[in-house]
A and B are shown apart, each in its own frame.
Chain A
């Protein structure tokens, strides 16, 4: 789709914990405006891969390129400062706090009032509402506690928050794993909408039915090894299932 330099490029990444090979020879690219899906069954190495991308682990072998330059992160904060944001399964949110307070948690907007720095609640409310509606999320009440939202809505708040705070690569760790059909559809819609805003999205899932409709590129992992890397047009549902179950190897 886009011919520019990919946002992220991972070449032959491997990770060893002592003599355990958690990951070996895995490559993929993430382009702006596209969704790269990382698929695999439990224990396939998805989490390790994500932790490498988000800066929590350093790869043992291989190259990690961000916008064409090789990078090496010492902490997730460094990755975040480049705009690589991770939305974890257990969502970094306080359930009893309102949507807007959660949205700006840790990066609260302030305005000066004499010598005091006030929380700019008006701006925060308006911005949170606006940002979420840009992704097609309509929250009933920006003041309602996050705990009263459904799982999908909570995911959407986290996604909108990451997008607003300048994420260029959005890593979503199993965003649909705990959700019902309708809720999953909603979240996948938000994923698509985030990509449409020129973000590179990495979607981790073990559900091929969720990955196939939204993904542009598919990386399939099995037992720490890449069993295939496909563009959307090269892949069918049946083939994907076969690859994920580890019965067939990629040609």
Chain B
């Protein structure tokens, strides 16, 4: 019996005190998928056509993203709270219609917007309250309750605008009192000219961003020494100066010769800087010897093959050509290629079935039925793309992206397998990997018809090569920190935070001061994202939102006013709908009664792409905003790449699926390894 008398705490063993490095912490955050997705999608379209990525097109997609993003913020909060609002979309229309109708027809002369807009908000508040009240009282799924609201509001929009204005389109609010004020606040546009400081700010900010990010990450992951090694620090500073100089020259010049020299200086300088910095401040570890295991070898071959394909693609296809590809192929050959693209997955599948044992064959019929739609979809995409969508640029971009990413992944896997067996081969493979990056960089640069693409990808690949080389050397030579060290962590986090702040200023300057248009809607989008993220993560109300979505009974049992939280979330969503409705009305000066109809699913998609769990209790506001950004980029990027406009739906569907799968996978992996 005495075994329980002395309660000893569980002894900390190695397995229990694992420290999560900055990278892993980043990977388990819900918005990571959306962040990577936004960058990838942007880079994809940027590399895919000259029309995308100009100041004008940036302003365009931000204009699409803003209302979507504002709504996604509210919808994601509601989703984290465990509910949906299908009436969110038509609420934007209802608000616009209410304001416009009142402003024109309330009395014979209409009424001031200072009355109309609060009235629309009041109406929205009531709708939101009603949604929340009904869901709380009846316990019915919010899907059904808000579907009812959706139809009622949709009908009302049409009925009232036809009845009062005899049209489904209400316009002419310009004469209403207060129009100027609200136009400026909600629908305003500001033009920024080009300034001579733009490039300087962007460059300095970008470099600072990179440097601070690297320092912050290194500080958070390595084990500090007692004393800083001054000689290594000096080398690091020299390296950093060389690296920065290289980047500046690279940024400034576009001549072939300058590129090569500056690229090499920038690459070696920054690698030297990172490695020396780690040597100066952190403990080194013993190297160990061994050989590359068998399993890594095919990966190395594949990696090299991918590199070759990517560099050939860079050389062979002329990026300036925007024509549809494969015109020079006879039509029967095109058909054959398309059929092959469709038949390939089917053939693989059949082969798999034939190889399998008896039991597997029995299951095969069920499997085929389940997978048939997927196979058909793949074939369909293959056929359609071969006939209509594929331009030379697209093929080039796809080839470089796919082959390059594939090669990098293979070599990375090989490197990490080798890393367990031998320090020397770990370093060798890291070298090989960055060499491949450099090869692809130069292959891309060799084509001279597209300066922007050439310069951008060249610089990005070189920076990537430098980072890989540096991390390889640092990981091989330096001791990783296994314990949490709150001082170092805080220092590292602050540095990263400052870096990100500077980086966003630099990016903002670059985007704004390029003869671009800055709309008030974008300001409101950023504002509401910040407020939403703040409330969710930094206040107790955020805790309550997570709790009512994660386990409503638990929340109630611990004293959280669960019903009030849900009602507040419904009201916030409707009010946000009213806000967006007013914003769109002020921007267009008129409103369609069907406006926002069907948009509620786009809000939900944005939230899900942003890493929010559909079952509630987990998610991120910033992720939802990024999800909206991804959708807006694809909406604008597809026409800019001269693809069939309707293809955006295919793209959207694919983005949604991939985002959810990636989020799921990453979260699982990250949680497994705790």
| Interface residues of A, Cβ cutoff 8 Å to B | 88, 90-97, 101, 104-108, 110, 116-119, 121, 133, 135-138, 140-141, 144-145, 148, 185-186, 188-190, 192-193, 196, 212-214
Give chain B residues whose Cβ lies under 8 Å from the Cβ of A93.
Answer: 551, 554
Please measure, in the bound complex, the distance between the C-alpha atom of A90 and the C-alpha atom of B551, giving whole angstroms. 11
| Interface residues of B, Cβ cutoff 8 Å to A | 1, 3-5, 7-10, 12, 16-18, 20, 537-540, 542-544, 546-547, 549-551, 553-555, 557-560, 613, 617-618, 671, 674
Q: Is the CB of A101 within 8 A of B9?
A: no
B4 interface neighbour in A91, A94, A106, A188, Cβ under 8 Å: A188
Please measure, in the bound complex, the distance between the C-alpha atom of A138 and the C-alpha atom of B559, giving whole angstroms. 26
Give chain B residues whose Cβ lies under 8 Å from the Cβ of A97.
Answer: 543, 546-547, 550, 617
Additional pairs, 14, CB under 8 Å, beyond known A94-B547, A94-B549, A101-B543: A92-B555, A95-B617, A96-B546, A96-B613, A97-B543, A105-B543, A105-B555, A106-B555, A108-B540, A110-B540, A137-B9, A141-B674, A185-B3, A193-B7
Q: Is the CB of B7 within 8 A of A192?
A: yes
B499–chain A nearest beta-carbon distance, Å? 22
With CB as the reference atom, state the residue of chain A lying closest to B540: A108
27 residue pairs bridging A and B, Cβ less than 8 Å apart: A88-B557, A91-B554, A92-B555, A92-B558, A94-B549, A96-B613, A97-B550, A104-B543, A105-B543, A105-B547, A105-B554, A105-B555, A105-B558, A106-B547, A106-B555, A110-B539, A110-B540, A119-B537, A136-B8, A136-B10, A137-B9, A141-B674, A145-B671, A148-B674, A185-B4, A186-B10, A192-B5
Answer whether A94 and B546 are a contact pair too, CB < 8 Å, given A119-B540, A138-B10, A213-B1: yes
Give chain A residues whose Cβ lies under 8 Å from the Cβ of B554.
Answer: 91-94, 105
A134–chain B nearest beta-carbon distance, Å? 10
Please measure, in the bound complex, the distance between the C-alpha atom of A119 and the C-alpha atom of B541, giving whole angstroms. 9
Give chain A residues whose Cβ lies under 8 Å from the Cβ of B617.
Answer: 94-97
Please measure, in the bound complex, the distance between the C-alpha atom of A93 and the C-alpha atom of B20, giving whole angstroms. 24
A101 interface neighbour in B17, B538, B546, Cβ under 8 Å: B546
Q: Is the CB of B618 within 8 A of A136?
A: no
With CB as the reference atom, state the residue of chain A lying closest to B15: A140
Give chain B residues whose Cβ lies under 8 Å from the Cβ of A110.
Answer: 539-540
Give chain A residues whose Cβ lies under 8 Å from the Cβ of B17.
Answer: 140
Q: Is the CB of A214 within 8 A of B4?
A: yes
Q: Is the CB of B9 within 8 A of A94?
A: no
Q: Is the CB of B9 within 8 A of A138?
A: yes
Give chain B residues whose Cβ lies under 8 Å from the Cβ of A145.
Answer: 671
Give chain A residues whose Cβ lies under 8 Å from the Cβ of B539.
Answer: 110, 116-119
A164–chain B nearest beta-carbon distance, Å? 13
Chain B CB count within 10 A is highest, among A121, A138, A214, for: A138
Please measure, in the bound complex, the distance between the C-alpha atom of A116 and the C-alpha atom of B539, giving whole angstroms. 9
Please measure, in the bound complex, the distance between the C-alpha atom of A186 and the C-alpha atom of B4, giving whole angstroms. 9
Q: Is the CB of B671 within 8 A of A148?
A: yes
Please measure, in the bound complex, the distance between the C-alpha atom of A33 and the C-alpha atom of B515, giving whole angstroms. 74
Please measure, in the bound complex, the distance between the C-alpha atom of A94 and the C-alpha atom of B619, giving whole angstroms. 14
Q: Is the CB of A119 within 8 A of B671?
A: no
Please measure, in the bound complex, the distance between the C-alpha atom of A57 and the C-alpha atom of B16, giving whole angstroms. 43
Please measure, in the bound complex, the distance between the C-alpha atom of A213 and the C-alpha atom of B237, giving whole angstroms. 65
Q: Which 5 pairs of residues, A with B, have the shortest CB-CB distance?
A: A94-B550, A106-B558, A108-B540, A106-B559, A92-B554
Please measure, in the bound complex, the distance between the C-alpha atom of A91 and the C-alpha atom of B558, giving whole angstroms. 10
Please measure, in the bound complex, the distance between the C-alpha atom of A136 and the C-alpha atom of B8, giving whole angstroms. 6
Give chain B residues whose Cβ lies under 8 Å from the Cβ of A121.
Answer: 538
A78–chain B nearest beta-carbon distance, Å? 13
Q: Is the CB of B7 within 8 A of A189?
A: yes
Please measure, in the bound complex, the distance between the C-alpha atom of A190 and the C-alpha atom of B550, giving whole angstroms. 26
Give chain A residues whose Cβ lies under 8 Å from the Cβ of B674.
Answer: 140-141, 144, 148
A239–chain B nearest beta-carbon distance, Å? 15
Q: Is the CB of A105 within 8 A of B560?
A: yes
With CB as the reference atom, state the residue of chain A lying closest to B615: A96
Q: Is the CB of A133 within 8 A of B558?
A: no
Q: Is the CB of A140 within 8 A of B559?
A: no
Please measure, in the bound complex, the distance between the C-alpha atom of A137 and the C-alpha atom of B5, giving whole angstroms. 15
A92 interface neighbour in B4, B9, B557, Cβ under 8 Å: B557
Q: Is the CB of A213 within 8 A of B559?
A: no
Give chain B residues whose Cβ lies under 8 Å from the Cβ of A192.
Answer: 4-5, 7
Give chain B residues whose Cβ lies under 8 Å from the Cβ of A214.
Answer: 4
Q: Is the CB of B12 within 8 A of A138?
A: yes
Please measure, in the bound complex, the distance between the C-alpha atom of A97 and the C-alpha atom of B560, giving whole angstroms. 15
With CB as the reference atom, state the residue of chain A lying closest to B16: A140
Give chain B residues whose Cβ lies under 8 Å from the Cβ of A196.
Answer: 7
With CB as the reference atom, state the residue of chain B lying closest to A214: B4
Chain A CB count within 10 A is highest, among B538, B549, B558, B613, for: B558
B140–chain A nearest beta-carbon distance, Å? 22
Q: Is the CB of B4 within 8 A of A141?
A: no
Q: Is the CB of A119 within 8 A of B538?
A: yes
A147–chain B nearest beta-carbon distance, Å? 9
B110–chain A nearest beta-carbon distance, Å? 38
Please measure, in the bound complex, the distance between the C-alpha atom of A214 and the C-alpha atom of B4, giving whole angstroms. 7
B23–chain A nearest beta-carbon distance, Å? 15
Q: Is the CB of B7 within 8 A of A136?
A: yes
Give chain B residues whose Cβ lies under 8 Å from the Cβ of A133.
Answer: 9
A148–chain B nearest beta-carbon distance, Å? 6
Give chain A residues whose Cβ lies under 8 Å from the Cβ of B9.
Answer: 133, 136-138
B550 interface neighbour in A96, A104, A148, Cβ under 8 Å: A96
Please measure, in the bound complex, the distance between the C-alpha atom of A137 and the C-alpha atom of B16, giving whole angstroms. 12
Please measure, in the bound complex, the distance between the C-alpha atom of A250 and the C-alpha atom of B258, giving whole angstroms. 98
Give chain A residues whose Cβ lies under 8 Å from the Cβ of B16.
Answer: 138, 140
Give chain B residues whose Cβ lies under 8 Å from the Cβ of A137.
Answer: 9-10
B509–chain A nearest beta-carbon distance, Å? 28
Chain A CB count within 10 A is highest, among B549, B557, B618, for: B557
Please measure, in the bound complex, the distance between the C-alpha atom of A141 and the C-alpha atom of B4, giving whole angstroms. 25
B566–chain A nearest beta-carbon distance, Å? 14
Answer whether A212 and B1 are a contact pair too, CB < 8 Å, given A101-B546, A108-B540: yes
Give chain B residues whose Cβ lies under 8 Å from the Cβ of A140.
Answer: 16-18, 674
Please measure, in the bound complex, the distance between the C-alpha atom of A151 and the C-alpha atom of B273, giving whole angstroms. 48
Q: Is the CB of B7 within 8 A of A96?
A: no
Give chain A residues whose Cβ lies under 8 Å from the Cβ of B5.
Answer: 192
